[in-house]
Chains A and B, each alone.
Chain A
Amino acid sequence: MTEQELVARAQKGSEDAFAQLMGAYQNKVYHLALRLTSSPDDAAELTQEAFFKAWQSLSSFQGSSAFSTWLYRLTNNLCIDFLRSKRRRQVISSAQSLDDEELHQREVPDPRLTPQGEVERQELREAVRQAIDLLSPEHRSVLVLREISGLSYTEIAQVLDLEEGTVKSRLARARLALRKILLAHGNLFAPPPSN
């Protein structure tokens, strides 16, 4: 059964079809929520909420975008609302802006993860994971949707309600900011000389 057929059946009330859709997307949705919130517990709750809301609002899905895009947008909005609510209760010690390349004064990655010399693949992944947590919400969203969720620029634009050109430039800035964080914490290796 194709995804479109599953969605159509779920829209008619088939819990079995919806469960299959959940099975196909729960890891991706959870991973998206995890990268956006940096908290496994919050991500689990938000993922559960995202699928619950998806079930309730399936009738509003008209198929003009891919089901995954619609689901990611729902998840992203949930996470954004959650982070807004969380920020209202936190004292933010540094200003957050799209163009601000400075580090956020938040939790610092474990310096013991700094590789000496050649970087092990695992260590770099961990360093990148922690560095993503330090990105601004705007940079983090676009980067996670591209690198983690694998969305195209067009799909990212639909999820975030942006122009594709904005997605392209914001993604470039996000990667640059991520690189800067890694460099500042000594987690980025010097690339081997190219030909």
Chain B
Amino acid sequence: MDHEPWLEEISAALDDALTPEEQAALEAHLAQCSQCRALMEELGGIHSACTSLTAQAPQDLSRRVMEKIHTPAPVVELESRRPRRLPRRYLGVAAMFAVVCLCGGLYFFGVGQDTSPDLPSGQSRSLPQPDVADYGSVPSEQGEDPSANGGEAQAQPPEESADTGEQREAALQSEAADAPMSDDPASDPSVSQIPGPQVAFNSVTPSQFAISGDETFQSTASATVVLSALPEGLADTAEMVEEDSYLITAGECRQLLPTWEEAGILVSADELGEDDTMVLLQIQSGQASQP
């Protein structure tokens, strides 16, 4: 006889969590199955022992809590240890990236029905990853006129309706809102490949937060570090508790700081707290980080 299906019912019976029908079915089974009867009595004995366990909190607990409540929390501000500027070795990469974006932006807005009267002159849009299938008018590497292609890489026809144009504009603005500005390579989503000056700053310590909009605490940490980009390798080390939020011990964070510093991410080790405390790392891409 298979007793497995009755395990949960036996356990739930100890908690009075069965419906009358489930209780009746269990009792009918127990009347015929000595093994399950034995299991029920054993679990019942364990259940009684568990519920009889007691513990007393320390006598001075309340006093210590109130003392801590009355103790003002230290406010810690992090100062950047060096000017926010591009490391020399990345100047060439940044310059090339800027040129590509500029060319792409000029071509894109100079072809078809790009009606963007609200776009300030001289301001370029940064296309996250130029996709000919999406935009149609981004030139290929060979400089071909996409409008000559018959496939997905077709540019928008000149006789595009105003409504379609407005929709495309809205989509572009929406994407642009998500996409970083091209003049700041440090804010590119793929920052692990495009390093740059990324100043990280620590919020008030000790801090508390609710990771999501839920009313209850999701987690606690002794410090919160807001980073403008996801450091390479962090996902392998820290525990992701929510999108763009990672938990890591302060000790592990300190060990990663030299690696982050090479990428221009600056965090003061002094503000991280004790090694065994938890630090919350929040990634806010595209944010112009300032201390």
A residues contacting B by CB (< 8 A) are 15, 19, 22-23, 26-27, 29-31, 34-35, 43-44, 47-49, 51-53, 55-57, 60-62, 64-65, 70, 73-74, 77-78, 81, 84-86, 88-89, 121, 124-125, 127-129, 132, 143, 146-148, 150, 152-153, 168-169, 171-172, 175-176, 178-179, 182, 188-189, 191-192, 194
Contact = CB atoms under 8 A, between A and B. Distances in A.
Interface of B: 7-8, 10-12, 14-15, 17, 34, 37-39, 41-43, 45-47, 49-58, 61-62, 64-66, 68-69, 208, 210, 215-221, 239, 247, 249, 252, 276-278
Contacts of A47: 57-58, 61
A73 B217 contact: yes
A49 B219 CA distance: 12
B216 A60 contact: yes
Contacts of A143: 50
Central interface residue in B8, B52, B277, by most chain A CB within 10 Å: B8
13 contacts: A26-B62, A30-B58, A35-B53, A52-B65, A60-B210, A73-B217, A84-B247, A121-B49, A125-B49, A125-B52, A132-B50, A147-B47, A168-B12
Contacts of B277: 85
B223 to A, nearest CB: 13
A15 B55 contact: no
Contacts of B15: 146, 153, 171
A85 B57 contact: no
B219 A179 contact: no
A30 B57 contact: yes
A147 B61 contact: no
B53 A148 contact: yes
A151 to B, nearest CB: 10
A44 B217 contact: no
